[in-house]
Structure 1
Amino acid sequence: MRVVIMGGTAGIGLATARRLASDGAEVIVTGRTQERLDAAAAAGLTAERLDGTDEEAVAAFFERLGEFDHLVLAFSPGPVGMGPIRETKIADIRAAVEGKLFPYLFAAQQARATGSVTFVSAASARAALGGMVGLSAANGAIERVVSPLAADLAPVRVNAVSPGVVDTEWWSFLPEEQRSAQFTAISASLPAGRVGTAEDVAEAIRYVIGATYVTGTVLPVDGGFTVA
Structure 2
Amino acid sequence: MTSRTTLIIGGTSGVGLAAARQLAAAGETVHVASRDAAKVATITDTAPELVAHQVDGNDAAAVAGLVAGLAPLDALVITLAGSEGAGALADLDLTALRRAFEAKFWPTLTVLQAALPHLAERASITLVGAVSAHAAMPGTAGIGALNAAVEALVRPLAVELAPRRVNAVSPGLIDTPWWSGMPEQARAEWFSSAAKGLPVGHVSSADEIAEAVVLASTNTSMTGAVLNIDGGARLVQF
Which bin holds the TM-score, normalised by the shorter protein? over 0.9
Aligned CA-pair RMSD: 1.4
Structure 1 runs (4+) greater than 6 angstroms displaced: none
Pairing 1:195–2:203 present? yes
1:120 equivalent in structure 2: 128
2:12 equivalent in structure 1: 9
Question: Could you tell me which amino acid in structure 2 is paired with residue 18 of structure 1?
Answer: R
Pick from 61, 64, 82: which aligns with 1:59? 64
Equivalent positions of 1:5-84 (< 5 A) are: 5-42=8-45, 43-44=47-48, 45-76=50-81, 78-84=82-88
Following superposition, the deviation at residue 40 of structure 1 comes to 1.5
Q: CA contact under 8 A between 2:60 and 2:110: conserved in structure 1? A: yes
- Following the alignment from structure 1 to structure 2, what is the Cα–Cα distance between the partners of residues 67 and 211? 19
2:94 equivalent in structure 1: 90
1:143 equivalent in structure 2: 151
Note the residue ranges of structure 1 that are not aligned, 5 or more in a row. Answer: none
- Following the alignment from structure 1 to structure 2, what is the Cα–Cα distance between the partners of residues 48 and 92? 28
Following superposition, the deviation at residue 121 of structure 1 comes to 0.6
TM-score by length of 2: 0.91
- Identity across aligned pairs (percent)? 41
Question: Could you tell me which amino acid in structure 2 is paired with residue 64 of structure 1?
Answer: G
Q: CA contact under 8 A between 1:97 and 1:137: conserved in structure 2? A: no
Following superposition, the deviation at residue 88 of structure 1 comes to 2.2
Q: CA contact under 8 A between 1:2 and 1:27: conserved in structure 2? A: yes
- Following the alignment from structure 1 to structure 2, what is the Cα–Cα distance between the partners of residues 102 and 153? 19
1:131 equivalent in structure 2: 139
Question: Could you tell me which amino acid in structure 2 is paired with residue 220 of structure 1?
Answer: N
2:172 equivalent in structure 1: 164
- Following the alignment from structure 2 to structure 1, what is the Cα–Cα distance between the partners of residues 103 and 41? 24
Task: Write the deviation string for residues 80-134 of structure 1: whole angstroms up to 9, x where unpaired.
Answer: 1122222222111111122211211221222122220000110011111122223
2:232 equivalent in structure 1: 224
